[in-house]
Structure 1
Amino acid sequence: MSARDAILKRLRERTDGPLSAPESDFAVVTHRGWSGQERLERFERWIASVHGEVVHTSRKGWTEALARVLADKGVRRLALGKQHPVAAEARQALVDTEVELVDVNRDIEAWQREQFESVDAGLTSTLGGIAETGSLWLWPTPDEPRLISLVPSIHVAVLDADTLEDTLFDVVEKHGWANGMPTNALLISGPSKTADIEQTLAYGVHGPRELVVLLRHASAAPGDEK
């Protein structure tokens, strides 16, 4: 019997019965009770407070909003996947533009230098957002590896308004992380930032210097006639 098995055996044979987990009160991290509009307002306020940019658009017209963002920011080379609907729609919309579409589903060693030196922006989908902290959450895949949200100077993320949750606890509970915790979940709250010993924040020192969230609404967004 191994040392581990011996310890577990002693725990199971405790004279006062098996150990049980204490009851936990999670009320402090959930049950905010915000309406959909309140979630939107809180999300936008908090992510803007750390230099994130939110562009409201409709689900029908989001690729046109993407094209405008890329043109305004001078993006010439965009890294993106192929299989996810967000990437597929973007590819179709940008096929006749001057933006070069860079494939990302390949061995990082084959294009590592290219990614750091000549890719202007990365486009990703998101699985949702967190209103309390103004955060996005992503589960990277081979089609959308995490590096395209962490390396290029600009990260463009597509978020559906109806996937916003109040808190991180609500995300974990609703999506069953306890039964299938992702190996590499990403929580993104604004562009990259760091602080020196005097606690002065600096943005864009490493990783994306800009984060643009294309916030898609089921109906036409304010100011979006699409």
Structure 2
Amino acid sequence: MSARETILKRLRERADGPLTAPESDFAVVTGRDWSAEERLARFERLITSVHGEVVHVTRDDWTRALAKLLSDRGVNRLALGREHPVAAEARAALVDTEVELVDVDRDIETWQREQFDRVDAGLTSVGGAIAETGSLWLWPTPDEPRRLSLVPPVHIAVLEADAIEDTFFDVIESRGWAGGMPTNALLISGPSKTADIEQTLAYGVHGPRELIVLVRHAGAAAGDAGGTA
């Protein structure tokens, strides 16, 4: 019997019965009780404080805002998925533009250099956002793989205004992650940045240098429709 098996055997045969998990008090990580307006304002304040950009759009006009954004930024090649409604709507809206749509549902080995050298931006949906930390959370899929938000120099994320929750704990609870934890959940709190020993920040060294969040509202966008924060 190995040392590991011996230890486990002793634990299973404890004289005072099996071990039970202690009671946990999660009050410190939940219960913020912010309103929808407070969540949105807090998320926007925090993510823009670290050089993220927020653009308010409606669900009817968001693809026009996307096309203008791509034109203003000089994006010629946009990587995106196919199956998610966000990707499908974007593809339909951009089909007659000069933007080349780059398919990402390919074997990584066949286009590894292309995605690093010839993709200007990546477009993704997001699962939602966290007001407490100003973070987006993504659950990558084969249609929208992890590298889509991590490799291109510009990451454009589409967030539903009503998908912002108070805390990370609330996301875990509401989405039932305890019963089916995602294998590759991502938390994004701004563009990629790093600092040297003198604390000089540099953006885009290990990932996107720009993060643009299109916040989609059901009706008229909050504040100036289509405006930026």
String of CA shifts for 1:38-87, please: whole Å, max 9, x gaps.
00000000000110000000111111111111111111100000111100
Counterpart-to-counterpart distance in 2, 1:161 and 1:199: 34
Partner in structure 2 of residue 161 of structure 1: 161
1:103 to 2:103 alignment: yes
Counterpart-to-counterpart distance in 2, 1:151 and 1:19: 45
Q: Which blocks of at least 5 consecutive residues in structure 2 are unaligned?
A: none
1:170 to 2:170 alignment: yes
Counterpart-to-counterpart distance in 2, 1:25 and 1:148: 37
Identity %: 77
Counterpart-to-counterpart distance in 2, 1:116 and 1:9: 51
How far apart are residue 200 of structure 1 and its match? 3.2
1:186 to 2:186 alignment: yes
How far apart are residue 5 of structure 1 and its match? 4.1
Counterpart-to-counterpart distance in 2, 1:198 and 1:171: 36
Q: Which moved more, 1:126-135 or 1:7-16?
A: 7-16
SS at match of 2:111: helix
Counterpart-to-counterpart distance in 2, 1:201 and 1:32: 32
Letter in 2 for 1:223: D
Letter in 1 for 2:225: D
Counterpart-to-counterpart distance in 2, 1:115 and 1:8: 47
Letter in 2 for 1:137: W
Partner in structure 1 of residue 82 of structure 2: 82
Counterpart-to-counterpart distance in 2, 1:19 and 1:200: 49
Partner in structure 2 of residue 16 of structure 1: 16
Partner in structure 2 of residue 196 of structure 1: 196
1:224 to 2:225 alignment: yes
Partner in structure 2 of residue 119 of structure 1: 119
Aligned length: 225
Partner in structure 2 of residue 130 of structure 1: 130
Q: Which moved more, 1:202-211 or 1:81-90?
A: 202-211
Q: Which blocks of at least 5 consecutive residues in structure 1 are unaligned?
A: none
Partner in structure 2 of residue 49 of structure 1: 49
How far apart are residue 204 of structure 1 and its match? 1.6
1:68 to 2:68 alignment: yes
String of CA shifts for 1:84-106, please: whole Å, max 9, x gaps.
11000000000000100000000
How far apart are residue 22 of structure 1 and its match? 1.4
String of CA shifts for 1:140-163, please: whole Å, max 9, x gaps.
111111111111110000000111
Counterpart-to-counterpart distance in 2, 1:210 and 1:177: 29
